[in-house]
Structure 1
Amino acid sequence: MTTLLAMRFKTLASAATLMLALVFLVLPAVVARAEVRIQEVKSDKGITAWLVEDYSVPIIAVKFLFDGGSTQDPVGKEGLANLMTGLFDEGAGDLDSDAFQIKLDEAGAEMGFNEGNDAVGGGMRMLAERQDEAFELLKLAVEKPRFDQAPLDRIRSQIVNGIVAGARVPETQAARKWAEAIYGTHPYARPDMGTEKSLATITADDLRAFHKANFARENIHVAVVGAIDAETLKKRLDQVFGALPEKAELRPVERVEPRLGQTMHIEYPLPQTSLQLVYPGVPREAPDFLAAALMEHILGGGTFSSRLFDEVREKRGLAYSISSALINQEHSSSLIIGTATRSDRAAETLGVIREVIRKMAEEGPTAAELDAAKKYMLGAYAINNLDSSGAIAGTLVDLQTDKLGIDYMQRRIELINAVTLDDVKAAAHKLLSVDPAIMILGPNFGESKG
Structure 2
Amino acid sequence: MILRTVFALVVSVIALPAWAEVNIQEVRSDGGFTAWLVEDHSIPFTALELRFRGGAVLDEPGKKGATNLMVGLLEEGAGDLDARGFATATESLAARFSYSVSDDFVSISAEFLTENADQAVALLRDSLVAPRFDEEAVERVRQQVISGITSDQKSPRDLASQALRRLIYGDHPYAQSKDGTLESVSALTRADLVTAHQNALVQDRLYIAAVGDITPDQLSALMDKLFIGLPKSGPALPGPAQLNFPGGAHVENFETPQSVVLFAQPGMDREDPDFFAAYILDLILGGGGFESRLMTEVREKRGLTYGVYSYLVDKASAQLWMGSVASGNDRVGQAIEVIREEWQKLAELGVSETELANAKTYLTGAYPLRFDGNSTIANIMVSMQTDNMPIDYIATRNDKVNAVTLEDVNRVAKRLLDPQALTFVVVGQPKGLMAN
Identify the TM-score tier after normalising by the shorter chain.
Answer: over 0.9
Q: CA 1:108–1:31 in 2, change beyond 3 Å: closer, same or farther?
A: farther
Structure 2 residue 4 is matched with structure 1 residue 17: yes
Structure 2 residue 380 is matched with structure 1 residue 395: yes
Residues 109-148 of structure 1: CA distance to partner in whole angstroms, max 9, x if unpaired? 0111100000111011111111011011011111111111
Q: CA 1:404–1:105 in 2, change beyond 3 Å: closer, same or farther?
A: same
Residue 160 of structure 1 deviates from its aligned partner by 0.8
Residue 33 of structure 1 deviates from its aligned partner by 4.1
Residue 32 of structure 1 deviates from its aligned partner by 5.2
Residue 245 of structure 1 deviates from its aligned partner by 2.6
Give yes or no for contact 2:47–2:109 (8 Å, CA) kept in 1. Answer: yes
Q: CA 1:404–1:260 in 2, change beyond 3 Å: closer, same or farther?
A: farther
Give yes or no for contact 2:208–2:382 (8 Å, CA) kept in 1. Answer: yes
Map 1:38-57 to 2 at 5 A: 38-57=24-43
> Could you tell me which amino acid in structure 1 is paired with residue 381 of structure 2?
L
Residue 262 of structure 1 deviates from its aligned partner by 4.3
Aligned partner of 1:363 in structure 2 is: 349
Q: Percent identity at matched positions?
A: 38
Give yes or no for contact 1:258–1:280 (8 Å, CA) kept in 2. Answer: no
Map 1:5-404 to 2 at 5 A: 14-28=1-15, 30=16, 33=19, 35-383=21-369, 385-404=370-389
Residue 333 of structure 1 deviates from its aligned partner by 0.7
Q: CA 1:172–1:255 in 2, change beyond 3 Å: closer, same or farther?
A: closer
Structure 1 distance, partners of 2:254, 2:193, is 38
Structure 2 distance, partners of 1:343, 1:364, is 31
Give yes or no for contact 1:213–1:250 (8 Å, CA) kept in 2. Answer: no
Residue 249 of structure 1 deviates from its aligned partner by 2.6
Q: CA 1:276–1:210 in 2, change beyond 3 Å: closer, same or farther?
A: closer
Residues 274-299 of structure 1: CA distance to partner in whole angstroms, max 9, x if unpaired? 22221210011111111100000000
Worse overlay, 99-108 or 182-191: 99-108
Worse overlay, 331-340 or 172-181: 172-181
Structure 2 distance, partners of 1:365, 1:343, is 32
Residue 322 of structure 1 deviates from its aligned partner by 1.0
Give yes or no for contact 2:257–2:328 (8 Å, CA) kept in 1. Answer: yes
> Could you tell me which amino acid in structure 2 is paired with residue 26 of structure 1?
V
Q: CA RMSD in A?
A: 1.6
Residues 331-388 of structure 1: CA distance to partner in whole angstroms, max 9, x if unpaired? 00111121112222222222221221111000111111111111111111222x3111
Residue 325 of structure 1 deviates from its aligned partner by 0.4
Worse overlay, 305-314 or 96-105: 96-105
Structure 2 distance, partners of 1:292, 1:120, is 28
Aligned match for 2:417, one of 414, 432, 441: 432
The two structures have a TM-score, normalised by structure 2, of 0.95
- Look up the SS of the partner of 1:123 in the other structure: strand
Aligned match for 2:392, one of 407, 418, 422: 407
- Total equivalences in the alignment: 432
Residue 255 of structure 1 deviates from its aligned partner by 3.2
Structure 2 distance, partners of 1:257, 1:393, is 33
- Look up the SS of the partner of 1:304 in the other structure: helix
Residue 268 of structure 1 deviates from its aligned partner by 2.8
Residue 446 of structure 1 deviates from its aligned partner by 4.9
Structure 1 distance, partners of 2:17, 2:242, is 39
Structure 2 distance, partners of 1:250, 1:88, is 23
Q: CA 1:287–1:334 in 2, change beyond 3 Å: closer, same or farther?
A: same
> Could you tell me which amino acid in structure 2 is paired with residue 365 of structure 1?
V
> Could you tell me which amino acid in structure 2 is paired with residue 394 of structure 1?
N
Residue 393 of structure 1 deviates from its aligned partner by 0.6
> Could you tell me which amino acid in structure 1 is paired with residue 178 of structure 2?
D
Aligned partner of 1:419 in structure 2 is: 404
Worse overlay, 132-141 or 253-262: 253-262
Structure 2 distance, partners of 1:127, 1:381, is 28
Residue 400 of structure 1 deviates from its aligned partner by 0.2
- 5+ residue gaps, structure 2, are none
